Amino acid sequence: MRRTNRFAILIVAALLALPTEGRGQTIQAMPEARQSVPGGSTEAKPEEQASAGLWDRANLFGDAGGTRSALAARGITLGLQETSEVLGNLSGGTRRALVYEGVTQLGLGIDLGKAIGLTGGTFNVSAFQIHGRGLSQNALGNNLHTVSSLEALRGTLLFELWYEQALFNDKVAVRVGQLAADQEFMVSRYASLFLNHTFGWSSHPSADLPFGGPSYPLATPGVRLRVTPREDLTLLAGLFNGDPAGPGSGQPQLRDASGTAFRLNDGVFAIFEAQLGTEIAGLAGTYKLGGWYNSQRFEEQRRDLAGQSLADPATLDLHGRQVRGNWALYGVADQLVWTRPGSKDAGLGVFARAMGAPGDRNLINFYLDAGVTYKGARPGRDDDTAGLAVGYARYSDTASKSDSDNRTLSGTDYPIRRTETVLEATYQAQIAPWWQVQPSAQYVFNLNGGVLDPRRPGKRLGDAAVLILRTNVSF
């Protein structure tokens, strides 16, 4: 039996084996594995776990013989989480493949009010151990919409390390240290259900910012200000080092990265976001508007060939000129549209995000995603969530015209990149408060905008059909 057929049977068997009666408390959909949440994905207090059974406790080890309760009394929260997945490429891409990858996440949070009497102070540190092989890099031509949010360079590294001080009854909070913008900015609550990387820190900033910007797996020194002038309005502003990896840092140089470079001299990445919470017909929603600016130099996507000799294409300078600064604007909407009568929080939620940037210096100048999630999709399993989402990225006209130049000069069928789109369907099963199992099916159209297949001269990479089975355990 083929490996891909065995993998498909594994996913179907996992779905059929799910119990029909929900166990444990109701919790929100699992945050992405890259998010640092000390103590796991629930809000259960350690003392409440002392007598909880295996299927009711928030963490697999429960109160750990009273250790969690003792630490919590001193304001200390420890979190250990393992996220693992098997991924298979059934068709398209550069080759068929079956791979494994995973992330072990360790987090420490300290409430300094409890620990040393510093009211409003919080300390946080998190680290990752990334293992396995990514499917996008190894079988899909390193496509734009990376099929897993876990995929990154393998290694053990520090992620975030910060101190936050809340002021004026928590209406103002200042966070300083090593930070990642993808923990708070430009993200959607409902989109976090999905496994494709683009539904977290999307493919738009990942493609256009130096090394993807301050996001998983590399945070960078920065400061974040949060102001809540009223209950339904939050204003966020962040100032970060402009390049989390440093100039000239390609992936091979980062294989030994530890997350401890603490760079401060790579320009500035600034981001601002306004968040408005509202209700429509009694249904809660959150709407966000924001923008970012990076002060570094960026290369234009197309070189002006005027004045250059076309007689010998090998002598042409096809590199764009360097321009100062880059920016983008974005909007995010999360809206609950229906709740099931008699349930606490089961129902339908929808999300949409749109992002735009100048096309002369950006590979991707427009991005859009949207989707729907249904919590409590199966009777008796109110903690399970099903979802369907689509992500669309448009290559800038300037990048497409540069491809056209290359086609003309080379005299070959050089591909002109246009768009890449991903469609994902997923089901997150809450087996216990500490354990989630999540199959995902994805179809990626027009890999990397339609580049050629290195195995088949003159042919483009075929669209990719991908299956993933992820499991997440909070210890």
DSSP state string for 379-415: TTBTT-EEEEEEEEEEE-HHHHHHHHHHHHHHTS---
Give the whole-angstrom CA distance, residue 97 versus residue 91.
Answer: 9
Return d(Cα 216, Cα 286) in angstroms, integer: 24
Q: What is the pLDDT of residue 314?
A: 53
Per-residue pLDDT of the chain (475 residues; tens, 9 = 90+): 444 454 454 444 444 334 333 333 222 222 333 344 322 343 445 545 555 688 888 899 998 888 999 999 999 999 999 999 999 999 999 999 999 999 999 999 999 999 999 999 999 999 999 999 999 999 999 999 999 999 998 999 999 999 999 999 999 999 999 999 999 999 999 999 999 999 999 999 999 999 999 999 999 999 999 999 999 999 999 999 999 987 654 443 444 468 888 888 899 999 999 999 999 988 999 999 999 999 999 988 876 554 444 445 555 555 667 889 999 999 999 999 999 887 777 899 999 999 999 988 999 999 999 999 999 988 888 899 999 999 999 999 888 888 787 777 766 777 888 999 999 999 999 999 999 999 999 999 999 998 988 888 878 899 999 999 999 999 9
Q: Which two tokens stand for residue 371?
A: 């989707």
Q: What is the DSSP string of 147-195?
A: S-TT----EEEEEEEEEEEEETTTTEEEEEEEE-GGGTSS--TGGGG--
The identity of residue 166, as a single letter, is A
Structure tokens, 336 = 């609950």
- Domains of the chain (ranges; CATH) run 3-474 (2.40.160.180)
Phi and psi angles of residue 101, each rounded to the nearest 5 degrees, phi first = -150, 160
Q: What is the pLDDT of residue 30?
A: 26
What sign does the dihedral 149-92-131-383 (CA atoms) show?
Answer: positive
* pLDDT value at residue 414: 77
Q: Are strands 419-432 and 283-299 parallel, antiparallel or unpaired?
A: unpaired
Number of neighbouring beta carbons within 10 Å of residue 396: 22
Structural tokens at position 417 = 């990149």
Closest CA relative to residue 334, chosen from 282, 402, 284: 284
Sequence-separated (6 or more) residues with CB below 8 Å from residue 309:
315, 316
3-state secondary structure of 127: strand
From the CA atom positions of the chain, what is the Rg in Å? 23
Cβ contacts of 221 within 8 Å, gap of 6 or more: 177, 178, 179, 240, 241, 262, 263, 264
Class of residue 431 by CB neighbours under 10 A (exposed 0-12, middle 13-18, buried 19+): buried
CA angle 26, 31, 34 (to 5 degrees): 155
Kindly write down the DSSP assignment for every residue of 28-47, as one continuous string: PPPPPTTS--TT-SS---GG
Please tell me the distance from the alpha carbon of residue 366 to that of residue 354, in angstroms, as a whole number.
Answer: 8
CA 432 vs CA 12, 45, 53, 189, 377: distances in Å: 20, 16, 11, 21, 17
pLDDT at 318: 55
Q: Please report where in the chains the tokens 């209950």 appear, as a residue.
A: 231
Report the pLDDT value the prediction gives residue 86, as an integer from 0 to 100: 98
| 245 SS3 class | coil
Q: What is this structure's pTM?
A: 0.86
Nearest alpha carbon to residue 375 among 187, 193, 195: 193
**For residue 359, what is the DSSP state?**
S
